[in-house]
Amino acid sequence: MNNCVLLEELLIKKSQQKRRTSPSNFKVRFFVLTKSKLAYYEHRHGKKRTLKGYVELSRIKCVEIVKSDIIIPCQYKYPFQKLLLDPKEAIVMAIYDYEAQNPQELTLQYNEEYYVIDSSEEHWWLIQDKNGTDNNPVIKHYHINETTDFPKRYYLAEKHVFDCIPELINYHQHNAGGKLVIHPSELTRVQEIGSGQFGVVYLGYLLEKTKVAIKTIREGAMSEEDFIEEAKVLMKLSHPKLVQLYGVCFENVPICLVLEFMENGCLSDYLRSQRGSFSKETLLGMCQDVCEGMAYLEQNSVIHRDLAARNCLVGESHVVKVSDFGMSRIVLDDQYTSSTGTKFPVKWSAPEVFSYSNYSTKSDVWSFGVLMWEVFSEGKIPYENRTNGEVVEEINAGFRLYKPKLASKAIYEVMSHCWRMVSILLGEP
């Protein structure tokens, strides 16, 4: 079967120059292509062909375009990715490194080979690595178009054209207008699981395979421009302790975000429902998870502005991830002044927030201290019996939250330090 001749032709072959002193020459050879190899023979009229060598198709990595009449830039000499179609299986080779953006995708390593298990769908291929690993086995596949002019440029949509493929990939990984936009037909809603400031949250499935949270934006609650800005923030962030964005859906009303699903819901409800069952080590681990996520946000100049237990989600084994970036902003100078009239959660806010509407990573540190208090009080509401106005007066007067029973002296000192740091920076006593 594999020895069946597909093509045969007289072609000019260049010497391989296996040694540095070998001459560069060209000879006419008779080439024979089968399903398994490309063989070439010495060709003389009237004489039996003599096999000179062959190349296994499985070893071919790329093909060079050779045109003697024009000079071809190096980056355009290799026109296609290796694709070996075997009667039993297909193997593809990654021509770029690619980090998976969600649980449906597979991280690809440059020059590594992968088995194609199912390529029946237009944009999604089911693949495995060479070891047969089926963790995150699905890769999203897009058609990259070339312009007709020279040098060629590349695009998915003609609105965004790029000089090279890596630039195209980088753009569409980080922009809502790219292929991270999810079509409504790819989503299945199952049931409502909650509601927030901007809309309802549903449990659903992406491509009928991956369980997701679908966060809808109530009409009139947020402008489409603000929604796009929120999506852009999420798309640029990827960390094990942040809830991952899978994509956005603009085509239906209401518009929505498609997010990683966390089966145990928000941290505040989880703490209350399981009150009395947590060890101190588990509670400290929850705080550490949030701390790692927030440290990553600070490294990327992102201010959360609404950090609280209600805006963190819980997965398996008590793993906590930071969520709800509806109020977040990317800033260049580590400070953000909100517009007049913007609502904010007073009981979690630093003094400079409710006094001057100034947000910074330092005000997020204050909120983290309050979140620690929520965790070690197992979901109690801070300043529970006080109004917002009373909280503002007492904080300005130096009042701080009391030590929860489950918090050690060292843990409470960390909380107090979160609140004391901001006071020192503000010049308060």
Q: Is cis: bond before 79, omega within 30 of 0?
A: no
Active site residue 97: no
At residue 290, what is the residue type? V
Q: What's the chain's Rg over C-alpha atoms? A: 30
User: What are 130's two structure tokens?
Assistant: 């060479």
| Nearest C-alpha neighbor of 411 from the set 280, 247, 270, 308 | 280
Does an H or E element contain 212, and which? Answer: strand 210-216
Which listed residue (69, 163, 306, 334) is catalytic? Answer: 306
Does an H or E element contain 190, and which? Answer: strand 187-195
Q: What are phi and psi of 127, to 5 degrees?
A: -135, 165
What is the spatial distance between Cα 60 and Cα 341, in angstroms, rounded to a whole number? Answer: 64
**Strand arrangement, sheet containing 154-155:** 145-146, 154-155, 161-162
What residue spans of 74-223 are helical by DSSP H?
Answer: 165-173
User: What is residue 126's three-state secondary structure?
Assistant: strand
**284-306 burial, b for 16+ CB within 10 Å, e for fewer?**
bbbbebbbbbbebbbeeebbbbb
**DSSP symbol at 111:** T
Degrees, nearest 5: CA angle 101-106-111:
115
Query: How many beta carbons lie within 10 A of that of residue 217, not counting itself?
Result: 22
Please enumerate, as own/partner, the contacts of 9-12 that have beta carbons within 8 Å and a separation of 24 or more.
10/43, 11/40
Chain centre to alpha carbon of residue 184: 20
Name the CA dihedral angle for 362, 363, 364, 366, rounded to a multiple of 10 degrees. Answer: 100
Query: How many beta carbons lie within 10 A of that of residue 4, not counting itself?
Result: 8
| Nearest C-alpha neighbor of 118 from the set 209, 192, 183 | 209
What is the spatial distance between Cα 158 and Cα 238, in angstroms, rounded to a whole number? Answer: 28
- The answer to whether 215 is annotated as binding is yes
Beta bridge partners of 335: 360
User: Which active-site residues does the annotation give?
Assistant: 306
Annotated binding site for ATP: 215
